[in-house]
């Protein structure tokens, strides 16, 4: 029997508002303030305290819903979700039940070159609960700093067919939340929390079987691993003729690398939702009209624009747009280079024609210099695009030097490293360090002759058909010129000399 997985996700995103969801307490990061120091009668659920909704959080909810392609509910309201637990002193959580901020969204994801759409069931706003601490002596302590901080809960349809798709979606969701500025969405910091639902069914069957909810997934890797583990575990149950018959909850153990059966904190599933009487319903149509024109370019649109406008490969576009600072840097470098190229020659035709003419070659050079060399060097040095000393103008100048063959690749790398250290302009560094490409014919001719004399056996091998020796000889000529010769010229001259 061939089985297929059906996976859906439930994600909580911490909104980065200044204050909490229903009171004026600061919304501080986990552990940033002493326990129970950022609290008030509202977020600790004192009798008679009145909640008043945070306008910024509601705006962020609308913004996030729009970014996920959701329809905005015209008249949205808050509801009380009842359950008893020590992290919730009111005995209910203020959440949203039948009129969430957004419904019926869609997010495109691409996995292994295949594009598909993940449907979003809903996005609603709610308050977070307090944090429980279990100390080694066996006591449980409560920190209310987190109580009442704003969350957006996002629920997807069961549209994922693999763990890789779930991971790709989460990566895209994180990028969307960062792009629209509602959350930093760091899973490791609890700013993005994910629960996954998974069930299996025989291929071809249409109905759904009892699902397992996996909790405690606090990294992209654990989402992927937990789903893969659960697929294996459930496949075995099916093969034994004992597929799950009722919904269950399991927790992911990152050390043991397996899911373990968990009892839910609320045994009964009746939350007795009812409308929150202290908060009037919200007219979101007006807010939607205000926010829509101010929506930033979304990741998917930006990626596509980098391909269409600059001719980057999709792979490069993905890397270059994965971080807004990097994307801005790239666009700035590109426009500098276009300006520079246009200034080099008599310009004919429109700006559009110019772009078409230059784009493909420029996109290749800019793409590889940023994604491989710049990002690679930054990673080695634990540097950061936001704080590095290289300006887009200087980086564009470096690429221009390479483009014009004024420096060879090897020297350009030395210049790049010096730029990262000292922030100087590349032409200056090239001159100071004498790194300019040697294009002096006589000098290169001499180096070629020296190499041919010094490596007679290799020259013999080359002439007898061992063509791969050529690369070795190029290397030796480069060494003769202390790595500074223009490689294209060296190749030409060596080919000539070898006949």
CB of 145 to Zn ion, least distance (A): 9
CB of 23 to Zn ion, least distance (A): 3
Contact 330, 318 (CB under 8 A): no
Long-range contacts of 249-256 (CB under 8 A, 24+ apart): 249/212, 249/213, 249/214, 249/215, 250/212, 250/213, 250/214, 250/215, 251/214, 251/215, 251/216, 252/214, 252/215, 252/216, 252/217, 252/222, 252/225, 252/226, 254/218, 254/219, 254/222
Q: Which is nearer to Zn ion, 36 or 235 (CB)?
A: 36
List the beta strands (DSSP E) in 244-397: 248-253, 258-262, 274-275, 282-283
Q: Which is nearer to Zn ion, 54 or 321 (CB)?
A: 54
15-34 positions binding Zn ion, by CB under 5 A: 23, 25
CB of 200 to Zn ion, least distance (A): 44
CB of 60 to Zn ion, least distance (A): 18
Q: Which is nearer to Zn ion, 42 or 196 (CB)?
A: 42
Q: Which of 356, 370, 363, 355 has the alpha carbon at shortest distance from 313?
A: 363
Binding mask 95-124 for Zn ion (x = CB under 5 A): ------------------------------
Three-class DSSP category at 435: coil
Q: Which is nearer to Zn ion, 23 or 415 (CB)?
A: 23
CB of 87 to Zn ion, least distance (A): 15
Q: How many residues bind Zn ion (CB under 5 A)?
A: 5
Q: Are strands 248-253 and 212-217 parallel, antiparallel or unpaired?
A: parallel
CB of 26 to Zn ion, least distance (A): 9
CB of 18 to Zn ion, least distance (A): 13
Long-range contacts of 317-322 (CB under 8 A, 24+ apart): 319/371, 319/375, 320/367, 320/370, 320/371, 322/175
Q: Which is nearer to Zn ion, 42 or 412 (CB)?
A: 42
Please report the DSSP string for 163-222 in residue order: HHHHHHHHHHHHHHHHHTTS----GGGTSEEEEEEEEEEETT--S----EEEEEE-SHHH
Q: Which is nearer to Zn ion, 40 or 279 (CB)?
A: 40
Residue from 29, 33, 40, 420 that binds Zn ion (CB under 5 A)?
Answer: 40
Three-class DSSP category at 56: helix
Three-class DSSP category at 132: strand
The number of beta carbons lying within 10 Å of the beta carbon of residue 335 is 13
Q: Which is nearer to Zn ion, 49 or 307 (CB)?
A: 49
CB of 127 to Zn ion, least distance (A): 10
DSSP single-letter state for residue 277: T
Task: Give dist(CA 74, CA 56) in Å, integer.
Answer: 18
Q: Which is nearer to Zn ion, 62 or 147 (CB)?
A: 147
Candidates 40-48, 158-166, 183-191, 263-271: pick the segment binding Zn ion (CB under 5 A). 40-48
Q: Which is nearer to Zn ion, 46 or 372 (CB)?
A: 46
43-72 positions binding Zn ion, by CB under 5 A: 43
CB of 56 to Zn ion, least distance (A): 15
Candidates 38-46, 98-106, 116-124, 475-483: pick the segment binding Zn ion (CB under 5 A). 38-46
Residues that bind Zn ion (CB under 5 A): 23, 25, 40, 42-43
């Amino acid at each position: 029997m061939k089985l297929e997985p059906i996976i859906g996700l439930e994600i909580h995103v911490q909104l980065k508002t200044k204050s909490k969801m229903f009171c004026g307490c600061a919304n501080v990061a986990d552990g940033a303030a002493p326990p129970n120091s950022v609290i008030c009668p509202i977020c600790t659920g004192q009798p008679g305290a009145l909640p008043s909704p945070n306008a910024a959080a509601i705006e962020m909810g609308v913004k996030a819903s729009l970014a996920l392609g959701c329809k905005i509910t015209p008249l949205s309201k808050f509801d009380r979700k009842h359950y008893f637990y020590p992290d919730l002193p009111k005995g209910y959580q203020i959440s949203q039940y039948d009129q969430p901020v957004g419904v019926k969204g869609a997010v495109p994801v691409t996995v292994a070159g295949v594009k598909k759409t993940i449907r979003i069931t809903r996005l609603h706003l709610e308050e977070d609960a307090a944090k429980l601490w279990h100390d080694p002596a066996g006591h449980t302590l409560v920190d209310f700093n987190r109580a009442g901080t704003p969350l957006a809960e996002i629920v997807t349809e069961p549209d994922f067919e693999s763990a890789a798709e779930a991971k790709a979606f989460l990566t895209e969701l994180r990028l969307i939340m960062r792009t629209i500025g509602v959350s930093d969405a760091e899973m490791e910091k609890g700013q993005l929390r994910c629960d996954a639902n998974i069930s299996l069914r025989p291929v071809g069957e249409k109905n759904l079987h009892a699902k397992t909810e996996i909790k405690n997934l606090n990294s992209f890797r654990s989402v992927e691993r937990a789903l893969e583990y659960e697929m294996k575990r459930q496949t075995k149950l099916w093969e034994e003729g004992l597929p799950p018959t009722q919904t269950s909850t399991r927790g992911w153990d990152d050390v043991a690398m397996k899911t373990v059966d968990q009892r839910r904190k609320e045994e009964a599933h009746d939350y007795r939702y009812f409308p929150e009487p202290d908060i009037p319903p919200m007219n979101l149509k007006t807010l939607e009209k205000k926010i829509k024109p101010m929506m930033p370019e979304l990741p998917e649109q930006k990626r596509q624009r980098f391909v269409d406008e600059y001719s980057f490969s999709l792979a490069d576009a993905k890397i270059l747009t994965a971080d807004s600072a990097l994307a801005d840097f790239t666009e700035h470098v590109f426009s500098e280079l276009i300006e520079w190229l246009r200034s080099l020659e008599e310009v004919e035709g429109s700006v559009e024609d110019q772009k078409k003419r230059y784009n493909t070659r420029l996109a290749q050079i800019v793409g590889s210099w940023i994604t491989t060399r710049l990002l690679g060097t930054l990673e080695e040095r634990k540097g950061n695009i936001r704080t590095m000393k290289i300006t887009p103008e200087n980086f564009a100048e470096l690429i221009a030097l390479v483009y014009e063959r004024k420096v060879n690749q090897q020297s350009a790398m030395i210049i790049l490293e010096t730029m990262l250290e000292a922030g100087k302009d590349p032409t200056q560094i090239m001159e100071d360090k004498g790194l300019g490409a040697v294009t002096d014919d006589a000098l290169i001719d001499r180096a070629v002759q020296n190499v041919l004399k010094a490596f007679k056996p290799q020259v013999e091998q080359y002439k007898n058909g061992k063509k791969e020796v050529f690369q070795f000889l190029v290397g030796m000529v480069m060494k003769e010129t202390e790595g500074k010769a223009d490689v294209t010229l060296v190749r030409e001259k060596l080919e000539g000399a070898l006949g």
